[in-house]
Chains A and B, each alone.
Chain A
Amino acid sequence: AQSVTQPDIHITVSEGASLELRCNYSYGATPYLFWYVQSPGQGLQLLLKYFSGDTLVQGIKGFEAEFKRSQSSFNLRKPSVHWSDAAEYFCAVGDNFNKFYFGSGTKLNVKP
């Protein structure tokens, strides 16, 4: 069965530091991959998506993610974190049957 693993439950980084959030998926065919962000008390907002083509995708708010098929990974990165980036981040995969599977999320804290 398809699954998404986000191995880091909590991450704390200093403001201005770089960020990488890990995501590993289990899916036999070519996945459609997504990163969402959820601020407290709000729904999920799409940051970026990967369907095909260039394995490095750019998203909103200065985020990017790289698809690595050999590692079954789709890690999210940002070169310089801002205090407003503190939120929970979810990785998701869409399969050939148009079903979506979400990871359990990574909570990002940003130190001033």
Chain B
Amino acid sequence: EAGVAQSPRYKIIEKRQSVAFWCNPISGHATLYWYQQILGQGPKLLIQFQNNGVVDDSQLPKDRFSAERLKGVDSTLKIQPAKLEDSAVYLCASSLGPDRNQPQHFGDGTRLSIL
């Protein structure tokens, strides 16, 4: 089966600019996650979708970050305006369902550098 697809792989922008990331989960996976992985740290959950509804966005900086999952398949994550501390790898993951016994499958991530 095809894995989780993410694009772009790399992005370099200046602070205060905007940026968007795209994720296509594994076919049939109802749950989609966006994680932020800062260098030297483990992934931190930003937002979790179940189909096209938000399950958890408690750690999403909503003043600058937004995400959507229209039609319950693809998802986009946007940052506007970007800050220096947003430099990180943004990982998308998907699973069959939200239960903790469902393994998450990760994409290769988008590495974002803020100048």
A residues near B (Cβ < 8 Å) are: 4, 32, 34, 36, 41-46, 49, 51, 90, 92, 94-96, 98-100, 102-105
Place the interface of chain B in its size category: 20 to 34
Interface of chain A: mostly helix, strand, loop or mixed: strand
Checking B100, B107, B109 against A95 with a beta-carbon cut-off of 8 angstroms, the contacting residue is: B100
Interface residues of B in 68-115 (CB under 8 A from A): 91, 93, 98-101, 103-109, 111
A52 to chain B, nearest CB (A): 10
Q: What residue of chain A has the Cβ atom nearest to residue B58's Cβ?
A: A99
Please measure, in the bound complex, the distance between the C-alpha atom of A51 and the C-alpha atom of B99, giving whole angstroms. Answer: 12
The answer to the question of B4 belonging to the interface, with a C-beta cut-off of 8 Å to chain A, is: yes
Q: What residue of chain B has the Cβ atom nearest to residue A36's Cβ?
A: B106
Please measure, in the bound complex, the distance between the C-alpha atom of A42 and the C-alpha atom of B56, giving whole angstroms. Answer: 25
Please measure, in the bound complex, the distance between the C-alpha atom of A27 and the C-alpha atom of B92, giving whole angstroms. Answer: 25
Whether A51 lies near B41 (C-beta < 8 A) is: no
Please measure, in the bound complex, the distance between the C-alpha atom of A32 and the C-alpha atom of B56, giving whole angstroms. Answer: 19
Given contacts A98-B99, A99-B56, contact A44 B45 (CB under 8 A): no
Whether A45 lies near B42 (C-beta < 8 A) is: no
Please measure, in the bound complex, the distance between the C-alpha atom of A40 and the C-alpha atom of B103, giving whole angstroms. Answer: 21
